[in-house]
Chains A and B, each alone.
Chain A
């Protein structure tokens, strides 16, 4: 298909391969894309040489640099079930609609009394929701909602895992899902004393294994002495 450029007119360029490639890439990115809503806080975790991937099935506690704790469950059904049980425990009424909406939300950091109002807040207004002081986790007074969220959320997540496992066994297929793991994501500049409270909450529940989320790094530490 060689073609000599004709004098005068604009040179015609065969764009077919480029367009093919463009569509190929569009297809690839569309199929690999996973949509997520924005997290309520952006935390910048420290770097480490840890190379373990964060498991897909996890229960995540995020701690921002002011020490606020945010709670999230990756499995949306487990999340809905956990909210139902928490609502019953704390006697906060939720509508079915709110529960469904809640399952699509990422982590949240509000008192359960403010949670219905938080769920009804518009998406773009949610990050400036007040009061957003983090999930209460007082380790001395009985108002440790984070503990209940972790205990109930963890139980529900394991239930969902068991359900998926029996279903897969009945269908005779391979079962690849893993048990839920507890992950902690924390900003590098957070005072460790806040993290300690969260870890205390976990160890009080006899949970001792965590995945601490970090950024990937070449090796060793990077802080250079200033002198």
Chain B
């Protein structure tokens, strides 16, 4: 196998010179070991650090009554079997003078459904942000001004706020998928909220069908 060839190439059937034999070391065991170690380290190596998603939960207000009502809210309700429902605006347990009882609509996690819906809802904001990005790239805006304007657009009253609520059967994957999709679509604000009893009843009714 591997061996040191010394003595500058062999002359075929060279003349036997006294005491000028090349020193040959059998390196086979060493090479075997080297490859064994190599295989071990390659197989046990973990290359990438785990990736993570940063998420900040809102601190509860000191006085629960101080919480401002959410305008332009869109609520996602997650349930079992990867099902996702939503309603827009305030929750209305029954018909009254302000409007109809809340009806749930269903979405799914495909590109044609949830992503399309989010795009539709965010169109104005995204368009404005896109315009800003173009202006920024054309050096018409300073970095700090650009940042402030984007933040303003995202916090705009007209930009919908997304609320994510889960029932007791929704999985962690569903939650991450929704947050992921919201991140992907650069939505303004989203927040995880506890589900209310009447909402839970509505979802159970829907899922039970």
Contact = CB atoms under 8 A, between A and B. Distances in A.
A226 to B, nearest CB: 9
Interface residues of B, number: 59
Nearest to B40: A29
Given A54-B51, A214-B176, A215-B51, A19 B5 contact: no
A214 B53 contact: yes
Interface residues of A, number: 60
Contacts of B183: 48-50
A211 interface: yes
Interface stretch (B31-39, B85-93, B126-134, B141-149): B31-39
B78 A211 contact: no
A193 B166 contact: yes
Interface in B1-27: 1-5, 8-10, 12, 27
Contacts of B35: 22
A128 to B, nearest CB: 23
Contacts of A1: 5, 8-9
A189 B173 contact: yes
B54 A209 contact: yes
B53 A223 contact: no
A183 interface: yes
A208 B58 contact: yes
A33 B41 contact: yes
B contact patch SS? mixed
B177 A221 contact: yes
Interface string A44-64: 011011111110000000010
Interface in A150-189: 183, 185-189
B41 A6 contact: no
A117 B51 CA distance: 34
A95 interface: no
Interface in A2-50: 2-3, 6, 12, 14-16, 18-19, 22-23, 25-26, 29-30, 32-34, 45-46, 48-50
A167 to B, nearest CB: 25
Interface string B102-128: 000000111101110000000000000
B60 interface: yes
Interface string B33-63: 0110110011011101111111111111000
Given A16-B2, A53-B49, A186 B177 contact: no
B66 interface: no
Given A23-B34, A192-B78, A221 B52 contact: no
Nearest to B10: A3
A52 B54 contact: yes
Given A1-B9, A192-B172, A50 B51 contact: yes
Contacts of B171: 188-192
Given A19-B34, A225-B109, A211 B41 contact: no
Interface of A: 1-3, 6, 12, 14-16, 18-19, 22-23, 25-26, 29-30, 32-34, 45-46, 48-54, 63, 183, 185-193, 195-196, 199, 202-203, 206, 208-216, 219-221, 223-225
